[in-house]
Amino acid sequence: MAFTSKARYGGMKRYTDDGEISTVVESLIRELETEKFAEPDEEHCQIAIGYGDWAVTVMVSGLMVLDDMRERPNERLPSELFKRAASREEAAQLLTLMARGEVEAVRKVGWVPREQMPPWERDLFRQS
């Protein structure tokens, strides 16, 4: 199955070759680390990789979101779970796993509902 990527400034692309995963992930992470404007761009501040009904979004702050995009009208489980990336490498690893379709491995890494997130301290990908 193919994976999709969403770039920081909105471009979306579908990939069918797993050989492109490391290049795509590195490119997306670099977008988070690079500001195009003198003032930090708060509107365009995230990238994502999706596989099937699942997606991992990573924000400039380092906040990551795991989305289950299936429609579940009768379930009360949250469709989004959250995690703060401890490092660039952790974010890249989770994006890579998602692109490979290793959804269960991604789901096992300590995601929590938004209200259980620790307080934000600093942006992981912004140089300041």
Is the model's pLDDT at 42 over the cut of 90?
no
Q: Is residue 55 part of a domain?
A: yes
Is 128 inside any structural domain?
Answer: no
Instruction: Give, in order, the Cα–Cα distances in Å from 31 to each of 1, 3, 98, 109, 124.
Output: 25, 19, 18, 24, 13
Residue 17 forms part of a structural domain: yes
Report the pLDDT averaged over residues 97-113. 95
Among 26-30, 36-40, 53-57, 110-114, name the one with the lowest average pLDDT: 36-40
Output the DSSP codes for 54-103.
EEEEEETTSEEEEEE-S--TT--S-SEEEEE-SSHHHHHHHHHHHHTT-H
Q: What pLDDT, in 10s, does the model give residues 1-24?
A: 699 999 999 899 999 988 899 999
What is the tally of structural domains in the chain? Answer: 1
Is position 127 within any domain? no
Domain limits at 16? 3-116
Compute the distance between CA of residue 37 and CA of residue 46 in angstroms, rounded to an integer.
15
Q: Are 123 and 60 in contact (CB under 8 A)?
A: yes
User: Tens of pLDDT along 118-128?
Assistant: 888 888 997 65
